[in-house]
Copies of this chain bind each other. A is one copy, B any other.
Amino acid sequence: MSNDTILTKDPGFRYHEKAPKIDAKEFQKVIDSRRSVRIYEKEPIPDKIIQQCLRNALLAPNSSNLQPWEIYHIATPEVRQQMNKACLDQIAAKSAATLFVAVARTNTWKEHAKEMVQLFEAAGNVPKSAIAYYKKLVPFVYNQGLFGIWGLIKRILFFIRGLKTPVIHEPVSHCHMKIWAVKSTALACQNLMLSLRAYGYDSCPMEGYDSKLIKKILQLPEDAVVVMVISAGKRAIGGIYGPRIRYDENRFLKRV
């Protein structure tokens, strides 16, 4: 593959960003105090903080920098009322200062890959293999073809090749494409929720909603997947329903 070099070898860039000194205790407080809040105070979140938290969401890592995400901030009362309904009038939605809808897009990679090529070509100093990655490999990997036929062909090709050497088997279906886009979008969601916490606010990620209705309300295109609705605001007394419950970590953390 044309991108072997850039993936497996040090391309010899000398770019550097020095890691700052961070007071980890402050970060730990964010992680520890983030709880799903279901009842909020009436107090709104200042717009400046919302903007900062949303911008932080977009700083999450994402697959090949194809940024397959969108976040809708529900700011008008009419849309908000419709959204409360779409969230089945859950109190975690109804009582919140505001709502966000995180959406994964399975089609925008085409446009974004093209722009990466343009950016790289304009920069002039980007290795050819990096340009080829977005020009050739990305379309090869993410296209599934009409009715997923190209995905099916790839599935067979990868299976055969995989018999003698390690290969990447996904994405070769529309389901894989959704998983792919949802994954990056969820990373952004966690950035959003932690940011809200850091700036003094709380949140609750919700999946209990009518996704078809949300797509209609937000006029989302066919390829959009509603990943989660995140309510936000300031926690009310009784808004966290109880101490955090996690099973024994040895069930989830394996050292191999």
Residues of A participating in the B interface, judged by any CB pair closer than 8 Å: 7-17, 19-20, 22-24, 26-36, 39, 52, 54-56, 58-61, 63, 65, 67, 69-76, 79, 85-86, 88-91, 94-95, 112, 115-116, 119, 162, 166-170, 175, 178-180, 182-184, 186-187, 189-191, 193-195, 197-200, 202, 204-205, 207-213, 218, 225, 227-228, 235, 237-238, 240-247, 249, 252-256
Contact = CB atoms under 8 A, between A and B. Distances in A.
Given A22-B26, A30-B27, A189-B187, A252 B58 contact: yes
Tell me which of A17, A32, A73 has the highest count of chain B C-beta atoms within 10 A of its own C-beta: A17
A29 B23 CA distance: 9
Majority SS at the chain A contact face: mixed
Given A169-B211, A190-B190, 10 more contacts: A8-B89, A8-B90, A10-B91, A10-B238, A28-B198, A54-B249, A58-B253, A60-B190, A72-B256, A88-B167
B197 A22 contact: yes
Contacts of A34: 59, 61
A84 to B, nearest CB: 10
18 contacts: A7-B208, A10-B95, A15-B240, A20-B33, A24-B198, A24-B199, A27-B194, A28-B198, A61-B193, A61-B204, A61-B205, A67-B252, A70-B252, A71-B252, A166-B209, A168-B209, A184-B186, A218-B256
